[in-house]
Structure 1
Amino acid sequence: MENKLNDAGKVFDAEVLRRLYSFVKPHVKIFYLIVFLTFASAVLAAVRPFLIQYTVDNEILQNDWNGLNRMFVILTVLLVLNAIVQYLHTYFAGWLGQHVVRDIRIKLYRHILDLRLKFFDHTPIGTLVTRNVSDVETLSDVFSEGMAAMIGDILQLVFIVGFMFYIDWELTLVSLSTFPLMVISTYIFKEKVKDSFQEVRTAVARLNSFVQEHITGMSIVQIFNNEKREMEKFEAINKEHTRANIRSVLYYSIYYPVAEIIAAAGLGILVWYGAYGVIDNDMSLGTLMAFILYIQMFFRPIRMIADRFNTLQLGVVSTERLMRLLDSREMIADKGTHAPAHIKGDISFQKVWFAYNNEEWVLRDLSFEVKAGETVAFVGATGAGKTSVINLLNRFYEINKGKIVIDGHDLKEFDLSVLRHHIGVVLQDVFLFSGTIADNISLGNKNITEEQMWQAADLVGARKFIERLPGGLHYQVMERGATLSVGQRQLISFVRAMVYNPEIIILDEATSSVDSETEELIQYAIDQLMHGRTSIVIAHRLSTIQKADKIIVLNKGEIKEMGNHEQLLRHNGYYAQLYQMQYKNMINL
């Protein structure tokens, strides 16, 4: 694919341009206006030298002052009209570019929201950020500086050459004698700059990746006193970025002087040949002046076409990347129509098999039932499949075989948003967004009032610490809640779960990251949260699940033991061994 992307002919890939045009369709009137303005600008620019030729030959040399004044007015009107057309063209091309960028970015982000978690497991976050920001922004340049401007330059060249051949075909051929040299130098420049752009983009990607990764892991860098070595790595990457940019600057610094020399040579040949024609009365002075203006107008867009071509090419490459992401069908099929206002909370896993990759089974023939209002706890070693159970219950992933049933309905029968509305989840690794505490509790749901938030905070025992923060619920949480302790972040996640009042509550290691004092603080709140609700608890601390109606012991995705706390202790199996081990550790502490 990359080789195809580097192919110059890819700029004219009909399928890519058709997909891009589909985003222009909602603004098709503006698009056609831009096409008209592009055509009008090319005509107005090309007609001026022709009128100047007429003015010199028929008004100035004939001493016709009235005619000269008339032509002066006409030329002035044309200049003003051309300026207005160029203003409108520039504005509407930019307007169209920004609106297309807005529409694509919205569609892209909406698509990303619908992708299942499996997609994010194998797609770097940086790649998605680049697609949604940099690649989409490139398309703006395609409309404002690439496609429209390039079409305008080509049309202007066509009209200029047409007028030149109409006036004097022999002088046209003489004037364009250096044109092949300009074409060759422009092509070489285009190829070199294209390669340098690729190097710059690669260097930028490496630089961004390094900075993002190492700022995120700055604590590790400083803990292990690795600042000097990381600085040396950064300097090496930064030098490569600088070298890549300097190479592109070098090509520009060579090309533009060469292009000026070629254009000046063409102009010199034109003046030399045309002067002989004027002296010998084989050519009018107006014709020579018109051609001097035409040849200057001709070479100017030629010099710009290479840049515009590269802009257009980068835009097409970005479009292909965006379309590949938009064409991704890695999303949960939301075809269910069952949308109950309330559910009881009966859950049944029936011979469920699940694998994240191919048939590397994480869950194997898993079957169990949870009655409405019951509390079921899962225990087991890391990788036993505990978290996979809750991922499947929320339909973050699709099962490979078997069936999951809630209240007698297959999970796939539920409307996805309704299903997740009835299930509340409190994770071990609490994620807080930049914004206020209230924003993080309500997640933008305007139906949730501050009074409801305070009620939930009272239940969890979070009111005191929230009130101590500047602004209370309106305290600004920094990125990932960096200014809050682990326990405080966990308490906020409990408030968030409570305020949505789900019928099924899932606690995934919800107390494993907090200290004993904070755990005691929220344990009562957990009991209240689970009261009357179907509850699924995953915990390393067995002390938090002793009251569970059922405890399921998982090992390599299979159920090894099942029963309540007393039954499993009497069984004297894996659970009993794990409990005795933790009990001894607590005594030693």
Structure 2
Amino acid sequence: MHRPTRPAPRTTLRHPRLRPRAQGTGRLIPPATPTPAPTVAPWSTYRRLWPWLRPHAPRLALVLLASLLATGLNLAQPWISKLMIDEALLKRDWDALLRIAGLMVAATVGGFAVNALVSYRYVAISAQMLFDMRVALLRHLQTLSPRFYGSFRLGDLMSRLNSDVSDVQRAAGDTLLSVLSNVLFFAGSVGMMLWLDWKLFLVGTLLVPLAVASFLHFQRRMTDLTRQMRERGADIGSLLVDTIMGMRTVNALGAEAHEADRFRAANAGFIHAMLRMQTVSFLTGALPGTIVTASTAAVIVFGGKQIIDGTMTIGALVAFLTYHGRLLAPVQALMGLTATLASARVALARIFELFDTSAEVADAPAPRPLPPVTRAIRLDGVTMHHGREPVLRDVSLTIPAGSLTAILGASGAGKSTLADLLVRFLDPVAGRITIDGIDLRDLALADLRRRALLVDQSPFLFNATIAENIAFARTGALPAEVAAAAGAAGLDPLIARLPEGLATRTGERGLALSAGERHRIALARALLRKPDVLILDEPTAALDEATERLVASGLRRALPDATLVVITHKPALADLADHVVRLEQGNATIQPQVPAHV
């Protein structure tokens, strides 16, 4: 086994009082704060969709042109009805009736075909756009530090990823296209009505501004109420996530009734917000709709008077009434889309709030690649805190290349924070960490995390087979390589007991297996990647001493030249190390030692 060539210097670390650890993780996190409720989203929020719309702009332009054609065909139908009445029926012209009827059929079929094409193409484009947005959001979330996930409510996060993105997709795939079609049809209907009879147009549109004003008033109320309902829904989601993930605690404490009462209270808040939104939604359509009906009655009275006076033909009035109905239909449709548009605006604001959360750790503008690691890892004057008192203060130490270094200390001594710093889940507030003489902040993150791997003390397993968990994100890993990694992690006795061996499923979050078995699978996953630096946070906490020694010996055989950093509170494991760092309240001792036989 490789040994350090000379003793590392003795170092003293000043260590202030620490805040409580996140339950079950050992990680130090800032106190959880409620997610701030987004303000009412302005219409300008939709402008932020442009980066995802830009790649599809040429195809969207074609869809717009096709929509204009469809609108023109639909607008021609009332005019064709006028010709049928005035030029064919009233004049008893059979040939004209056949020609006009054929024209009507052609316009109707053509409009249907173009509308179907426009709808199909637009939905396809919007679906691709929203997929790009989902991927961008996922990639952004992957850049955020563990502190973000320690302080953000999981239920609220899932609500934004699922419900909010789905609302935006519905709006982009249906509502926005409907808005475009209705606006175009509204403009066309106005033009045709003015051409037919401008006086009748004034009578028919006299009350429209009042209808629009009432619509805008209730629309603002709908946006605010939609936000409130979304927040109450997120409260329910967060409560359910907490209850389900903590079900063992709930059952152990006999707190089932208490959790049901909490759920009942959260659900009551959601229902109250939903009923208020439903009331305003009804008023949004009912009041403007009543005003619209009154304007239609005025058109019939005034137009009928013109027919009696002989200043307007029956066909012209029929065409005008058709355009008038179609004029108000887009207005009513836009009013009916209020809830969807309001929900989409709120959803966009909540999604962009995630996009606006800055990553604590990012690649340098021109990151340096990291070749195979052959030199020591050094901490020079490293200070780290999580918004309050420092967890680590002015730490300087060396982890020799190729050594097995054990980091010991009581709970809360900063061991896991140190592990996070070594793989740049966090950056130090002061000082620097170098590997091969290069500051970690100058390295490409992908290179660093390919060369240096961290196995958490609470490893996550996917609901897949043991083999799939070991080979996760390693497409092309051979079965023999997976089996070798499993053996090096001490999994052979487990695999031999299971009827399906490596093909056994681990269950949700790996809970079909014991804690020690989950640790060994996570360790095998790391060994398969053959890193130059392997950092293990409490890797044998759930193992007995014999299995602990088996795992330790397998580590060195699998990675004979790697730098191994083991964070532990078990002196027995430290006895196997070349190099020990003892973190204690107020000081740390760094010393080489002769390891026990592995």
- Contact kept, 8 Å, 2:38 with 2:349, in 1: the verdict is no
SS in 2 for 1:476: coil
More divergent stretch after superposition (416-425 vs 220-229): 416-425
> Which residue does the alignment assign to 1:143?
172
One-letter amino acid matched to 2:334: I
Distance change in 2, residues 1:127/1:528 (3 Å): same
- Contact kept, 8 Å, 2:284 with 2:335, in 1: the verdict is no
Give a deviation string over 1:277-310, Cα, whole Å, max 9, x none. 2222122111211122122212222112123344
- Contact kept, 8 Å, 1:94 with 1:140, in 2: the verdict is no
> Which residue does the alignment assign to 2:510?
481
> Which residue does the alignment assign to 2:249?
220
Aligned ranges 1:204-283 → 2 under 5 Å? 204-283=233-312
> Which residue does the alignment assign to 2:590?
562
Write the distance in 1 (CA, Å) between the matches of 2:51 and 2:157: 22
One-letter amino acid matched to 1:344: T
Match of 1:352 among 364, 382, 387: 382
Aligned ranges 1:371-410 → 2 under 5 Å? 371-410=400-439
SS in 1 for 2:474: coil
SS in 1 for 2:393: strand
Aligned ranges 1:98-137 → 2 under 5 Å? 98-137=127-166
Unaligned runs of 5+ in 2: 1-34
SS in 2 for 1:62: coil
How much has 1:451 moved relative to structure 2?
0.4
Write the distance in 1 (CA, Å) between the matches of 2:73 and 2:125: 23
Write the distance in 2 (CA, Å) between the matches of 1:487 and 1:499: 19
Match of 1:164 among 180, 193, 211: 193
Give a deviation string over 1:165-215, Cα, whole Å, max 9, x none. 111112222223442443244334423433432232122111111111111
Distance change in 2, residues 1:3/1:491 (3 Å): closer
Distance change in 2, residues 1:120/1:195 (3 Å): closer
- Contact kept, 8 Å, 2:405 with 2:566, in 1: the verdict is yes
SS in 1 for 2:49: helix
> Which residue does the alignment assign to 1:297?
326
One-letter amino acid matched to 1:383: G
- Contact kept, 8 Å, 1:145 with 1:308, in 2: the verdict is no
- Contact kept, 8 Å, 1:436 with 1:476, in 2: the verdict is yes
Give a deviation string over 1:315-334, Cα, whole Å, max 9, x none. 34433443443344424332
Distance change in 2, residues 1:285/1:33 (3 Å): same
How much has 1:263 moved relative to structure 2?
3.7
One-letter amino acid matched to 2:495: I
How much has 1:513 moved relative to structure 2?
2.5
Write the distance in 2 (CA, Å) between the matches of 1:498 and 1:534: 13
Unaligned runs of 5+ in 1: 568-589
Write the distance in 1 (CA, Å) between the matches of 2:50 and 2:353: 16
Give a deviation string over 1:263-286, Cα, whole Å, max 9, x none. 433333322332222222122111
How much has 1:363 moved relative to structure 2?
1.5
> Which residue does the alignment assign to 1:435?
464
> Which residue does the alignment assign to 1:466?
495
One-letter amino acid matched to 2:40: N
Write the distance in 1 (CA, Å) between the matches of 2:409 and 2:320: 86
Distance change in 2, residues 1:406/1:174 (3 Å): closer
- Contact kept, 8 Å, 2:38 with 2:350, in 1: the verdict is no
How much has 1:432 moved relative to structure 2?
0.8
Write the distance in 2 (CA, Å) between the matches of 1:225 and 1:204: 26
TM-score normalised per structure 2: 0.86
Distance change in 2, residues 1:332/1:239 (3 Å): closer
Distance change in 2, residues 1:240/1:323 (3 Å): closer
Write the distance in 1 (CA, Å) between the matches of 2:120 and 2:58: 14
More divergent stretch after superposition (218-227 vs 191-200): 191-200
> Which residue does the alignment assign to 1:514?
543
Distance change in 2, residues 1:266/1:403 (3 Å): closer
SS in 2 for 1:348: strand
Write the distance in 2 (CA, Å) between the matches of 1:240 and 1:329: 32
Match of 1:32 among 52, 61, 73: 61
One-letter amino acid matched to 2:382: V
Write the distance in 2 (CA, Å) between the matches of 1:250 and 1:17: 26
Write the distance in 1 (CA, Å) between the matches of 2:480 and 2:49: 48
SS in 1 for 2:61: helix
Give a deviation string over 1:98-121, Cα, whole Å, max 9, x none. 111001111121222233334434
Number of residue equivalences: 560
- Contact kept, 8 Å, 1:498 with 1:529, in 2: the verdict is yes
Write the distance in 2 (CA, Å) between the matches of 1:220 and 1:318: 34
Write the distance in 1 (CA, Å) between the matches of 2:242 and 2:504: 28
One-letter amino acid matched to 2:202: L
How much has 1:260 moved relative to structure 2?
4.8
SS in 2 for 1:378: strand
- 2:387 is the counterpart of 1:342: no
How much has 1:4 moved relative to structure 2?
8.7
Pairwise CA RMSD: 2.8
> Which residue does the alignment assign to 1:551?
580
Write the distance in 2 (CA, Å) between the matches of 1:475 and 1:48: 65
SS in 1 for 2:142: helix
SS in 2 for 1:538: strand
Distance change in 2, residues 1:337/1:411 (3 Å): same
One-letter amino acid matched to 1:367: S
How much has 1:29 moved relative to structure 2?
2.3
Name whichever structure is richer in helix by fraction. 1
Write the distance in 2 (CA, Å) between the matches of 1:560 and 1:117: 26
- 2:570 is the counterpart of 1:541: yes
> Which residue does the alignment assign to 1:570?
none
Match of 1:285 among 298, 314, 319: 314
- Contact kept, 8 Å, 2:379 with 2:433, in 1: the verdict is yes
- 2:454 is the counterpart of 1:422: no
> Which residue does the alignment assign to 2:31?
none
- Contact kept, 8 Å, 1:147 with 1:308, in 2: the verdict is no
Distance change in 2, residues 1:354/1:185 (3 Å): closer
More divergent stretch after superposition (118-127 vs 429-438): 118-127
One-letter amino acid matched to 1:457: A
Match of 2:522 among 493, 504, 513: 493
More divergent stretch after superposition (224-233 vs 315-324): 315-324
One-letter amino acid matched to 1:472: G
- 2:50 is the counterpart of 1:51: no
Give a deviation string over 1:345-377, Cα, whole Å, max 9, x none. 42222222222326x322222122232222222
SS in 1 for 2:589: strand
Q: For CA contacts below 8 A with separation 6 or more, give which structure has more relative contact order.
A: 2
Distance change in 2, residues 1:345/1:425 (3 Å): farther
How much has 1:342 moved relative to structure 2?
2.5
How much has 1:463 moved relative to structure 2?
1.9
One-letter amino acid matched to 2:485: A
Write the distance in 2 (CA, Å) between the matches of 1:447 and 1:323: 37
How much has 1:35 moved relative to structure 2?
1.5
Distance change in 2, residues 1:2/1:174 (3 Å): farther
- Contact kept, 8 Å, 1:146 with 1:309, in 2: the verdict is no
Distance change in 2, residues 1:322/1:255 (3 Å): closer
How much has 1:441 moved relative to structure 2?
0.8
